[in-house]
Amino acid sequence: MAENEEQEPELQLDRALLAFLKRHDQGELVDREAFLKEHPELADQLSSLLDAADWIERMAGPTLADSQVGPSSPETPYDPNDVTIDLKAMPAGKSEKTREEARATLPIRAGDFSLSDIPSLDSTQASLPCRFGEYLLEKVLGRGGMGVVYLANQVQLNRQVAIKMIRSGALASQDEVSRFYSEARSVAKLDHPNIVTVYHCGENSGHHFFSMDYIPGTDLSKRLADGPMDPKEAVRYVRDVARAIDYAHSHGVVHRDLKPANVLIDMEDEVVLTDFGLAKQMGGEQGLTATGAALGTPSYMSPEQAAGKSEDQGVATDVYAMGAILFALLSGRPPFQADTVMQTLLHVMQRPAPSVRSYRPDVHGDLETIVSKCLEKSPSLRYASAKELADDLDRFYNGHPIEAKPPSLPRKLRFWLGGIPLVAALTGIRHSEPSLSQRWAQRIFIAAMAIVLAALFFGGSLLRWYQDSRLPSSITIASGAPGGMYFDVAGKLSDRMQTGRGTQPSVLSTGGSYENLRQLMDGHADIALMQESTIRADQVSVVAPLFFEAIHVLVPKSSDILSIEQLAGKSIVMGAKDSGTRQAALRLLKHFNITEKDVEVIDGDWTQASLRDSSRVLIAVVKSGQSGMMDLLSHGEYRLLSIETAPTLLMSEPMFRLYELEKGAYRGIVEQPIKTLATTAMLVVRKDAPSRLVQECLEAVYAEPELTKGLIPKDLAAVWQGLPYHEAARKYYELTP
């Protein structure tokens, strides 16, 4: 055993230190001298490490665990502006008094040491300023759940910067270090005037750090201390935050810890976002926990954050937080604020957000609508992007009508009914304190409970059956631009369908797939045609895959362009902003390391003759053999570019399928096979669309040979895996012979 111990001194040290820290974190008063005598061979090393931990904690100040008895304790009220938490990592209870009794303090004069000397010091406290590598730390600017931020002077450049480092210093775990550098990487990839800039990151004597802009001024939490803001001022701040967050989202970064304290206000009264410590890279956690821990600041967490659903945290999470910030700026308090952390989290998950005007009646109705849309429990009901939020706030700021719609009367009634205590008890959902009218309603409800329950049980089923088995009185099909394939298919569908009143459905011409999605979700359309890449499975359901749309990359015949890589720096016509063509084109270029900034994007469609000249490239996503493409190629001004590496793109981009324009295609114009990719055009409805409407669509698509000519066959649609089919469509395909 002695031989093994000599071979593993580091393991012995780790085990001894871990045993001490566990006892200390459980609130036990540990005799340090007695503990060191238990490990005489490790006493010197353990003493240095414990002194270093004491010094770092002294420099950073009390943590959330020090300042609160526990997440469910009533002894200390929860402060909504407190630090970010990891709820699963929060200790059960520990007081500052316990910590004081477990350490002795020996002050040191400023300037006698550098931070790199800490692990060898015998003392447990030091004063600022002090030297840290090439920086001189001057004072503490702020503290978070795992980091502390100092004001520092970068001596060689003689400039003020902010230095962030891990609070636990050299004792930081690998998980803490990974999270810390994840924040630095997240911010470093962003270059925006309203987002703090990272200059340098690294490690000095075991202390991980990064330096960034020092923003003199204040922050929104300090401004909130003076009470509610003027509405237009609050709108301007949150609008600018939304624009900065939209930029971060466009670069794959979700903040996940937006709150007033993380919105700095500089000397020019402009916002600057900071503290990306919980930032998530879209498509991956990048080192952050995915175990179900609640990460964030409770009063500004979204319901999916409060529930620990890491996989559901995305763009909508930041949209919710911005709505909570706007609520706080207008009312002087966050939308949810209870006595403890746990109670606050439960309110966030279970209770409907209160009305801003219940705290501040003079707030304009449009502004209340914007806040309410941000604070929806379901992410799909919030603004689809930070840009949409910023645009609506800008409309309000400039006195223009907003696009968001207030909740419908039935929805308001549903919330009102949910506030009746007995109804809340039956549904298991807790609401805010009931009003006098709700209490009277409860008395009536109790008297008629048996009748109401019977009506709900039988009547609800009958109502759902009735709604599911009838056609809407009017039907609108969102298609595309007149003359396009989508518009043509929509017209044929309209000819073969009837509404509940026996009239022909109307066809709505649009700018493309993204506009069709909005029209569908806003209730302005009942059926829509859109590219597969546009479909959001939590919002819409597929009725049928219609046809493949091949990517046509057309370059002027006079040019020497031979590959996609050579498109960098070129002018490219790639469809309207709301079109699936634009989305497919940008995804294609991305695989060749070409971003939107690397090309000159021409807004418009390839069918517009005015946009064509000998210097521009055209990207079209259309069904092979489309007549307009035939006409364009026959003029001889453009040639098709083959994507030779198309097969390798399929592994990383599921929206694409391998496609080849055969030799002789387009009536012989294609002289050699052209390798390319294709997307799929889909017929979709809202998830809550009645089954009868879906059945009528399917009958119109497959019952008429003229319409099915050139479309994806029904038997292929029946075995298509992975599509979010409407339940009625799935049953239809299951019965396909």
How many other C-beta atoms are found inside a 10 Å radius of the C-beta of residue 284?
Answer: 10
Q: Which amino acid is at 488?
A: D
How many other C-beta atoms are found inside a 10 Å radius of the C-beta of residue 60?
Answer: 21
As to burial, measured by CB atoms within 10 angstroms (0-12 exposed, 13-18 middle, 19+ buried), residue 156 is exposed
The sign one gets for the Cα dihedral 531, 533, 539, 542 is: positive
The β-bridge relationship of strands 147-154 and 159-166 is antiparallel
What is the residue-wise DSSP string for 651-711?
Answer: TT-TT-EEEEE-TTTTTTT--S-EEEEEEEEEEEEETT--HHHHHHHHHHHHS-HHHHTTS
The sign one gets for the Cα dihedral 44, 50, 56, 61 is: negative
CA neighbor of 584 nearest in space, from 657, 675, 666, 488: 657
Q: Which amino acid is at 114?
A: S
Using alpha carbons, list the distances in angstroms from residue 281 to 175, 247, 703: 16, 13, 46
Q: Which amino acid is at 653?
A: E
As to burial, measured by CB atoms within 10 angstroms (0-12 exposed, 13-18 middle, 19+ buried), residue 477 is buried
Q: Report the interhelical angle of 513-521 vs 580-590 (nearest 10°).
A: 120
Q: Which helix (H) or strand (E) holds 535?
A: none
Max CA distance (Å), the chain = 93
605 as an active site residue: the answer is no
Tell me the H-state helices in 68-123. 96-101
- Interatomic CA distance for residues 329 and 360, integer angstroms: 11
- Interatomic CA distance for residues 662 and 670, integer angstroms: 7
Place of tokens 């006098």: 436
Q: Which helix (H) or strand (E) holds 298?
A: none
Residue 456: DSSP 8-state: I
- Interatomic CA distance for residues 19 and 27, integer angstroms: 13
Tell me the H-state helices in 125-219. 174-188
Please, are residues 495 and 701 in contact by the beta-carbon 8 Å criterion? no
Please, are residues 196 and 212 in contact by the beta-carbon 8 Å criterion? yes
CA neighbor of 594 nearest in space, from 566, 556, 561, 614: 566
CA neighbor of 483 nearest in space, from 605, 576, 300, 401: 605
Which residue in 51, 54, 246, 257 is the catalytic one?
Answer: 257
* Per-residue burial over 123-139, b = 16 or more CB atoms within 10 Å of its CB, e = otherwise: bbbbeebbbbbebbbee
Tell me the H-state helices in 228-363. 231-250, 303-306, 315-331, 341-350
Distance of alpha carbon 69 from its chain centroid, rounded?
32
Distance of alpha carbon 476 from its chain centroid, rounded?
31
- Interatomic CA distance for residues 297 and 305, integer angstroms: 9
Return all residues near 454 (Cβ < 8 A) that are at least 6 apart.
Answer: none
> Mapping DSSP to helix (H, G, I), strand (E, B) and coil, where does residue 590 land?
helix
Token readout for 207 is: 């202390």
CA neighbor of 262 nearest in space, from 411, 147, 379: 147
Please, are residues 631 and 483 in contact by the beta-carbon 8 Å criterion? no
Q: Which helix (H) or strand (E) holds 645?
A: none
Name the residues annotated as catalytic.
257
